[in-house]
Amino acid sequence: MLTGRLGATLPAWIDAVLASQLPGLTENAVHLLRDLDAMTAGLSLDWSSGEGAVNRIKKIKRQLYGRAGLA
């Protein structure tokens, strides 16, 4: 579902989880139902929030921390 951008299958997956009555998954599925439209869009649309670029910049900043100084 995640790598194939199959957000349309999310409601069927949630129904299967609720039918299984597994404690951890059932609670998670109930929370997903609160904003089903957003979750479906997040699993279907082909755009990114750019977290990879943010993490790369944070890594560079951590590597350079404490190296600046007066000569």
C-alpha to C-alpha distance for 28 and 26, rounded to whole angstroms = 5
User: What confidence category does residue 19 fall into, taking pLDDT thresholds of 50, 70 and 90?
Assistant: very high
C-alpha to C-alpha distance for 17 and 67, rounded to whole angstroms = 51
pLDDT at 70: 67
pLDDT at 69: 67
pLDDT at 15: 93
Give the residue extent of every domain in the chain. Answer: 7-64
Residue 40: closest CA among 5, 4, 67 = 5
Q: Are 16 and 9 in contact (CB under 8 A)?
A: no
Is the pLDDT at 25 greater than 80, yes or no? yes
pTM over 0.75: no
Residue 7: closest CA among 36, 41, 32 = 41
